[in-house]
Amino acid sequence: MYTYVMGRLLEELKEANKITDEDLRLIAICNIIEKQIAMQDDIHVTHPMDQEDESDLNN
């Protein structure tokens, strides 16, 4: 949904000639960050402190 809304907003800004190259660069950066966050959500990382806590419980 977010991508669709951003796409529509971008189209409207382009049509109104109210978007600059800097705006496009910022949007591209935001899209890259959004994709990286989505990839991180798919990867389950165990924090080192969590591992220590679990080992204490096992002893």
Q: pLDDT digits over 12-59, tens only? A: 877 877 778 888 888 888 888 888 887 876 665 565 665 555 555 554
- Domain residue ranges of the chain, discontinuous segments joined by +: 2-58
Could you tell me if 19 and 10 are in contact, meaning their C-beta atoms sit under 8 angstroms apart? yes
pLDDT value of residue 4:
73
Q: How far apart are CA 20 and CA 7, in angstroms?
A: 15
pLDDT value of residue 23:
81
23-31: long-range pairs with CB below 8 Å, 24+ = 31/6
Q: Helix 21-42 and helix 2-15: axis angle, to 10°?
A: 170
pLDDT value of residue 2:
63
pLDDT value of residue 52:
54
Pure H helices in 1-59: 2-15, 21-42, 48-58
